[in-house]
Structure 1
Amino acid sequence: MGVTPTAPADPADPAVPAVPPARPAVLAIDAGNSKTDAALIAADGTVLGTGRSGGFQPQRTGVEEAVDVLGRAVAEAAEAATLPLPLPGGGRGAGPGALYADQVSACLANADLPVEERQLADAIGARGWGSATRVFNDTFAILRAGLSGGEPPRGVAVVCGAGINCVGMRPDGRTARFPALGQISGDWGGGGGLAAEALWWAARAEDGRGGPTELAAALPGHFGLGSMAELIEALHLGALAQGRTHELVPVLFSVAAAGDAVASAIVERQADEVVALASVALARLDLLEEEAPVLLGGGVLTAGHEQLDERIAAGLARRAPRARVSVVSAPPVLGAGLLGLDALGALPEAHGKLRAHFG
């Protein structure tokens, strides 16, 4: 988690807009690869305004441009909350001097290492949106959103969306986490990994290097193509955008559900990865012998794939028999908001009101 203080704006400086006397307590931000949500929240848990903008990808766009994307969601939330809306730099979004809240609580995709959290906390803190800024990896938002009440977080969350990640927390501040940087950090799965694995097996089935699988017909058929050779050519030459391969994940699960052995093996491997992440995180936090929540989030794990869900449940029953498994369907910005209220020592009633709004 990265934390940075923000120097208070000088109210005597005419370049600094006046701060409303009853500004929100928390500016909550949840930023994923495809979208960013922001919410301004009062100390009693009332949501004063929300906003949305595009995906947060600092590794592609650079940190400042990525934070500009956050700024557009923040500006929209501020407008909805009827707060002053400075737009310096040609209208690129909320900027320096826009002190919107006491606490900025930002849960961000691609903040995979503590050093990245600190760097992003510094960059966001420099915008002056809050008196203090705390940055977490976005998996912490799923963890906090799935835990009820106002008590400090305790449990483990696994997110399987475009990629895969896992974090855990204890009330004493201890955390468990993984780099989640892909193959170089030992990760496998998520939508991108599942699609790539399905394509690999389908290609080999068609050309004879691998065993037969219905994926060889189903994957190209999804795009109206007649063979894997046509699909490979379309992806390689750009006739079909690489980004569309995520559409193949539901196809994979459908083929697996129909009994295809190759597709089923891929689904089972994904389930085993989820179990491994959760059980190792529980062990690191000394929670294997205690009743503790394991929260599942992200598009792959919230889609209700019976084969996947049953194997995860069975695997955790063996490796972490006291784990309580549940799926988190609440929006992650709720978790960012709850983390902000935690930092301010808000009453449990405030947590309940915020949860009710997003429930």
Structure 2
Amino acid sequence: MGVSGGARMTERLSRPAVLAIDAGNSKTDAALIAADGTVLGTGRSGGFQPQRTGVGAALDVLERAVAEAAEAAAVPRSAPGAPYADRVSACLANADLPVEERRLAEAIGARGWGAATAVYNDTFAILRAGLSGTEPPRGVAVVCGAGINCVGMRPDGRTARFPALGQLSGDWGGGGGLAAEALWWAARAEDGRGGPTELAAALPAYFGLASMAELIEALHLGALAQRRTHELVPVLFAVAAAGDPVASALVERQADEVVALASVALARLDLLDEEAPVLLGGGVLTAGHEQLDGRIAAQLARRAPRARPSVVSAPPVLGSGLLGLDALGALPGAQEKLRAHFG
């Protein structure tokens, strides 16, 4: 049986305004949000890795978070394929190129979760979450988690971004890069090809091993999963804080990469000569490493003296939701209400 125009209008007015999704490498958060900024329900699922699992399987992971949010919000689909919300606003890791954003938007749109769908790289979520008020986004965000990325926006719609594809696109650092560098220097210190560093003892000791040779063997043969090397990043920072010159040099290089990304993005947007926020997010940049934070502040003051750096501790799904409300022309106070919900 068909649905009347009046029934369709009632359904549209009663359903949530935004389905916000933030999907990283390790977890996915979803939230259904009303037009006034009220969070109706949230959900969580695993990481979004379409390059490893394929797009279909990766979207299945997102769908579990979406379904959980819909259940929490008591927003069932009125019919198969009926939208949960007026707009899907999805900020996704591994959507590094505009063409990938478009393809993922089409794939998510085909799932019918929203009447309209927009996909952004997940760094845009950090940028929007860190900017207060209801004005269009203006500033730059740098994220340093498993990898490293940077985006910037101006109210006129101009953006600055980088491919963020690792060494292929000129990137260095992030948690994965730092761990790999620490292992490289520690291996060479132990076998004599490199200079001494406390990393040679500290890295294997973290896993209860006696030497780098044991750690290398465990990683190579699979006794220790490669993904666990990310756990070595805090060890690197602890060794650096104790004064180890090799570890300190890696921390300083990471800071310089953050500043290089931010200052180039500001220059591309003609913001170097204006006061502009530089928002820092991701596990490495929100952990409060004194040496890293101090170097970033000092180098940013030299290269972009009018930049205003700050750390974004709010969950990135907030940024996804704000982008969705922005696109719908949110009611007055909706952004503030949403921001208050996420603290």
TM-score for the superposition, normalised by structure 1? 0.92
Matches within 5 A, 1:323-342: 323-342=307-326
Task: Please say if 1:146 is aligned against 2:138.
Answer: no
Is the Cα–Cα contact under 8 Å of residues 27 and 337 in structure 1 kept in the other structure?
A: yes
Secondary structure of the corresponding residue to residue 27 of structure 1:
strand
Where in structure 1 are there 5+ consecutive unaligned residues? 1-9, 87-94
| Structure 2 residue aligned with 1:313 | 297
Task: Please say if 1:197 is aligned against 2:197.
Answer: no
| Structure 2 residue aligned with 1:102 | 86
More moved, 244-253 vs 339-348: 339-348
Which portions of structure 1, spanning 4 or more consecutive aligned residues, are displaced by more than 3 angstroms?
18-21
What RMSD, in angstroms, separates the aligned Cα atoms of the two structures? 1.5
Task: Please say if 1:266 is aligned against 2:263.
Answer: no
Is the Cα–Cα contact under 8 Å of residues 19 and 99 in structure 1 kept in the other structure?
A: no
Matches within 5 A, 1:198-217: 198-217=182-201
Provide Cα deviations, 1:241-279, integer angstroms capped at 9, x if missing partner: 101101100000000000000000000000000000000
Of 221, 233, 258 in structure 2, the residue corresponding to residue 237 of structure 1 is 221
Return the alpha-carbon distance in structure 2 between the equivalents of residues 11 and 70 of structure 1. Answer: 29
Of 48, 63, 66 in structure 2, the residue corresponding to residue 71 of structure 1 is 63
Q: Measure how far apart 1:83 and its partner are.
A: 1.1
Return the alpha-carbon distance in structure 1 between the equivalents of residues 229 and 271 of structure 2. Answer: 37
Where in structure 2 are there 5+ consecutive unaligned residues? none
AA of the residue aligned to 1:244:
R
Of 86, 97, 112 in structure 2, the residue corresponding to residue 113 of structure 1 is 97
Is the Cα–Cα contact under 8 Å of residues 96 and 127 in structure 1 kept in the other structure?
A: no
Is the Cα–Cα contact under 8 Å of residues 77 and 84 in structure 2 kept in the other structure?
A: no
Q: Measure how far apart 1:347 and its partner are.
A: 3.1
TM-score for the superposition, normalised by structure 2? 0.96
Matches within 5 A, 1:49-198: 49-85=41-77, 97-198=81-182
Q: Measure how far apart 1:44 and its partner are.
A: 0.3
Matches within 5 A, 1:338-357: 338-357=322-341
Task: Please say if 1:225 is aligned against 2:217.
Answer: no
Structure with higher helix content: 2
| Structure 2 residue aligned with 1:37 | 29
| Structure 1 residue aligned with 2:277 | 293
AA of the residue aligned to 1:127:
R
Instruction: State how many pairs are aligned.
Output: 338
Secondary structure of the corresponding residue to residue 126 of structure 1:
helix
Return the alpha-carbon distance in structure 2 between the equivalents of residues 189 and 130 of structure 1. Answer: 36
| Structure 2 residue aligned with 1:48 | 40
Return the alpha-carbon distance in structure 2 between the equivalents of residues 337 and 85 of structure 1. Answer: 20
Q: Measure how far apart 1:68 and its partner are.
A: 1.1
Return the alpha-carbon distance in structure 2 between the equivalents of residues 181 and 21 of structure 1. Answer: 41
